Chain A
Amino acid sequence: MHKFFSHLPINLGNGLPVAVLFMAVIALMTVRVFQSLFLHATPQELRRADIWTLGLLVLFVVLIVLRFLAYAYA
């Protein structure tokens, strides 16, 4: 386990991927709020937005955890 994490690229720490994913999640959620409040989107359309948001959110959290692990085992 230690060996695996110690090989994680330390440059995950430059933060760019984390920041990009964060902005993507926020943008998607904002669109969803506007879709439901002003554009009267159908439940199917909202579900599609939810799936995308959830997917990016999972990626975002995974990346942050990897970032912590990369530094912990560096």
Chain B
Amino acid sequence: MPTPKRLEKFLAPPLLVLVSAVLWGVAILHARHTAMGPYGLISQMNWAFYLTLTVLGVAAARELTRTPLRSRALLLITVALVVVLFGTSPATTQVAALTDSYVHTGFTSYIIQHGAVLENFDARFSWPGAFALGGFVAQAAGVSTTLSFLKWFPLVIELAYLAPLWAIGRASGLSRRTAYLGTLLFYTGNWIYQDYFSPQALNFLFYLTLIALVLSMYRPLRATVLPRWRRALHTWRLQRILGLDTISTMRPRGEVALLAMAGVLVSASAVSHQLTPYAMVLSLIALLGARRLGRPELIVFTGAVTLVWLSLGAYNFWVGHLSLIFGSLGSVGSTLGSNVNSRVFGASSHLLVVKWRIYATALMFLLAGIGVLRRATDDRSLELLAGAPFALLLAQSYGGEGLLRATLFSLPFTSLLAASAILPRRHGTVAPWIPWRPSQRSRFARPLLSVTIGVLVVATGILLTFVRGGNDYYETYTSGEFQAVRYLDAHVPTGGLVGTFSAYVPLGATGLTTYRVYIAVLYLDTSVATDLTLLERQHPNYLLLSQSEEHWGEVVMGYPTGWEATAEQVLLHHHYRVVYHNATATVLRRVTP
């Protein structure tokens, strides 16, 4: 029988991580992208994948409940969990996922080739900072395009989020255990696929870094002894608005240096993304109200630099389209409606994924609510930071994505509050709503805590794989589809038109200005016959039919199985013939005018 000490050594985190790595390898080797079903990524995962998550969940639970806490072990476990959660999809697919990542590569390539942006082409080109940075990195790496960055970009950027997330956790007044658990929950709750090669992925890093900087720089000045409701009324006194209710943790020189760094971050964000700077402004206001920002100048600077870029730099975007910016001002009800309803449709498999996304988010907010009630604290910065991004919905529906983006901006703080539901801080100047009683301590408390944490990490990890990878059936592409796009790049004449049924094709990385693309389905109330009519009416020179489009039609639109083959037969009788074909893609060319 091994002694407890030897068992401890046996269960040491590196060994558990090593076991999980071997199991993950087995899961990856077993997975076949071509065998993926309508439920997406999870449909190609076998027992080894679930065992990987279980081993990591056990390791996390064990480390989070042991004394003393070992930061290095927790870092190792967190990194391993991030690799498993966000590396499985790229490891099992042949080429990068998501059309937008290819389009963004196209933007970057244009900047590399021309040294300038393309005017009046796409709204995203009015905020070109991230594309220019992508071009700079590509040139520094000695490649002519960022295409090779796409596949693994989500994993790399998620790992980059880890540093500011840990800093936020540590600086927000939580215990280290709670901060580490909150970071784990952020990753197991981040199903919002905004970490692909895009400006928003980079800007989320800027956002996290800015909040981490500010939280590390300022502390609340004094404990308020007023009753709870009267204390809340003091939030917007002039004294607090001027930042006089905080104290800096830095010397003046250090504070100025960090403020300058924050200014650079904010400026970079203002020129590279439409939404993030506004989320920054709201979060900085929240921090000011929570006595965690001592320099209101930072809010003014962020707002001013954002407005200046919108007014001068993004001129191409809004001239003639002012309603795009101000059209949904104040109409929160319709914004929420369009954000939620436009996503709940499709075949039963897709509906299940969408519903579980809502449940996953609801679970996180429920836990966060319990955390708010259970935790003692010195300030309410996390609560205000979790709520502030939703004010974005007052101004913009953001093309039906506003709610998703607000949830993402809120998630780092929601997950820390959710962790507080399980590991609440017990002492602080602001007392918990549900007071902690010493009688709650029993000899079963620690094992129970350990089991709760383990189950939560494993369950949310599996849920994340299901809901995040739920669209992989049609959002991930095969090398055959990519080869078909290569064929188009080589053969479509300048000024030509390429037609597709849906946007789920790996188009856009090249040929940005060579040919145009017409997508038949931009509306939901349609059928294969309507799509065909729309396509034929445009007389595209070439048509791209692919497996991803077929899957999208089945899962999202509810078209019958084999609908694309039927459509192809119709097209072959209407002036089109096959010029390129492989197992997952077909290219048709128009042969008569």
Q: Which residues of chain A have a CB within 8 Å of any CB of chain B?
A: 13, 15, 18-19, 22, 25-26, 29, 32-34, 37-38, 50, 53, 57, 60-61, 64, 67-68, 71-72
Contacts and interface: CB of A to CB of B under 8 A. Distances in A.
A53 B308 contact: no
Contacts of A64: 307-308, 311
B308 A61 contact: no
A15 B311 contact: yes
Interface string B294-311: 010100110011011001
B256 interface: yes
17 contacts: A15-B312, A18-B311, A19-B308, A22-B304, A22-B305, A25-B304, A29-B301, A33-B259, A33-B295, A50-B242, A53-B300, A57-B304, A60-B304, A64-B307, A68-B311, A68-B318, A71-B319
A32 B297 contact: yes
A26 B255 CA distance: 17
A57 B296 CA distance: 13
A61 B307 contact: yes
A10 to B, nearest CB: 11
A18 B311 CA distance: 8
Nearest to B243: A36
Nearest to A71: B319
A68 B322 contact: yes
A18 B308 CA distance: 7
B252 interface: yes
Contacts of B259: 33
B315 interface: yes
Among all A-B residue pairs, the 7 with the closest Cβ atoms = A37-B252, A15-B312, A29-B297, A22-B308, A72-B322, A64-B311, A64-B307
A37 B255 contact: yes
Given A33-B295, A37-B252, A25 B312 contact: no
A62 to B, nearest CB: 12
A68 B533 CA distance: 40
Interface residues of B, number: 20
Contacts of A53: 300
A64 B252 CA distance: 34
A25 B295 contact: no
B256 A13 contact: no
Contacts of A22: 304-305, 308
Contacts of B301: 26, 29
Interface in B245-303: 252, 255-256, 259, 295, 297, 300-301
A25 B319 contact: no
A19 B307 CA distance: 11
Given A19-B312, A53-B300, A68-B322, A33 B307 contact: no
A25 B322 CA distance: 26
Contact of B300 (A13, A15, A57): A57
A26 B307 CA distance: 13
A9 to B, nearest CB: 15
A13 B320 CA distance: 13
Nearest to B248: A37
B314 to A, nearest CB: 12
Contacts of B295: 33
B322 A33 contact: no
B300 A25 contact: yes
Interface in B378-400: none
Given A18-B311, A29-B297, A33-B259, 6 more contacts: A25-B304, A34-B256, A37-B255, A53-B300, A64-B307, A72-B322
Given A33-B256, A33-B297, A71 B322 contact: yes
Contacts of A50: 242
A26 B267 CA distance: 12
A71 B474 CA distance: 42
A26 B304 contact: yes
Contacts of B318: 68, 71
A20 B295 CA distance: 23
A64 to B, nearest CB: 5
Nearest to B295: A33
Given A18-B308, A37-B255, A64-B311, A29 B300 contact: yes
